[in-house]
Copies of this chain bind each other. A is one copy, B any other.
């Protein structure tokens, strides 16, 4: 591989001169500059960013750690983050923890070893606190995305899960539903807790008593949802509507219902947090509380870059409002 020393030799100058040409620093005569540039071109020189980072103590790399790369919410977020990072002159290193704490830990280790300049972090749960702590100890700026972690202080970009959930459940109530189930994510994830809060608030505001048998907890990925959702069908008094805490939970729920011979929304209504199909599907079916995923990414990167520039600035939290899209999966009763 060609180095600046090879260039220097051929150009009859020192490596420092080549470095100065590359970085446009110092005083270099026009003639020398052109000669060096020509030789760099000719020899197909590619700078070694590791050597550079080693001495500059800066990589110009940001890391984005998400929990599910197959979820459109996170891919949109990633695209937003990528676009923003490029705008700021950073590269984006994407990592996917798959909602798995071990994978997450391994990735954090890699991220630290890579000496990235900052991390966009969607933690798998409250136990991620220790990992965030380590990043902070190493003085690596962190912006939490989508999920917060109790006891951890840092910049965050969050959706308003509580208000969103409440609005969705109130929508169901307005559609005439009173027996409304919640298929929630695991409670060690902040979004699940907030969505549960919103659910409870809505019921209470409308004088509907809380029935614990209508509240289920699954994981945020595909696997277990069906067996869990099936419990709703075994209840003496079935719910008329289900609110799922994310898109994949809704999908699993609907599949379960269909396997049991129920039609959605004729027999039972289903709605969820996060967009599910739009953009992917011919005729969007699901009533959702959509989040501006792309903006999650861009805003988080903006915060992160500012934080890198100024580590002492006040901590900020940006709260993004979700939007209700009323579609066909919810039936209006009577």
- Spell out A's residues near B (CB within 8 Å): 1, 44, 46-51, 53-54, 59, 69-70, 72, 75-76, 78-79, 82, 86, 91-94, 96, 103, 106, 109-110, 112-115, 134, 137-139, 251, 254-255, 258, 264, 276-277, 279-283, 285-286, 329
> Which one, B49, B79, B134, B282, contacts A254 given CB within 8 A?
B282
A91 and B110 contact, Cβ closer than 8 Å, known pairs A115-B49, A251-B282, A254-B282: yes
Residues of B within 8 A of A114 (CB): 49-50
Known pairs A70-B72, A94-B94, A281-B285; list 10 more (Cβ under 8 Å). A48-B115, A69-B79, A75-B75, A93-B94, A251-B281, A258-B283, A276-B280, A277-B277, A277-B280, A282-B329
A52 — nearest CB in chain B belongs to which residue? B113
Residues of B within 8 A of A329 (CB): 282
> Which one, B69, B112, B264, contacts A282 given CB within 8 A?
B264
A109 — nearest CB in chain B belongs to which residue? B46
CA distance A96 to B94 in the complex (A): 10
> Which one, B50, B103, B281, B286, contacts A59 given CB within 8 A?
B50
Residues of B within 8 A of A92 (CB): 94
- List 7 A-B residue pairs with CB atoms under 8 Å apart, sorted by A's residue number: A1-B139, A44-B137, A46-B138, A48-B54, A51-B54, A280-B281, A282-B329
Residues of B within 8 A of A53 (CB): 50
A292 to chain B, nearest CB (A): 15
Residues of B within 8 A of A109 (CB): 46
User: Is there contact, CB below 8 Å, between A70 and B279?
Assistant: yes
User: Is there contact, CB below 8 Å, between B138 and A1?
Assistant: yes
**From A49, A277, A282, residue with most partner B Cβ within 10 Å:** A282
> Which one, B1, B50, B54, B79, contacts A70 given CB within 8 A?
B79
A72 and B110 contact, Cβ closer than 8 Å, known pairs A44-B137, A93-B93, A134-B44: no
CA distance A72 to B79 in the complex (A): 13
Which 9 residue pairs are nearest across A and B when measured between Cβ atoms? A94-B94, A49-B113, A50-B50, A46-B112, A254-B282, A50-B54, A50-B53, A280-B280, A47-B113
A251 and B264 contact, Cβ closer than 8 Å, known pairs A48-B115, A69-B75: no
A33 to chain B, nearest CB (A): 20
Residues of B within 8 A of A286 (CB): 282
CA distance A78 to B69 in the complex (A): 8
A64 — nearest CB in chain B belongs to which residue? B94
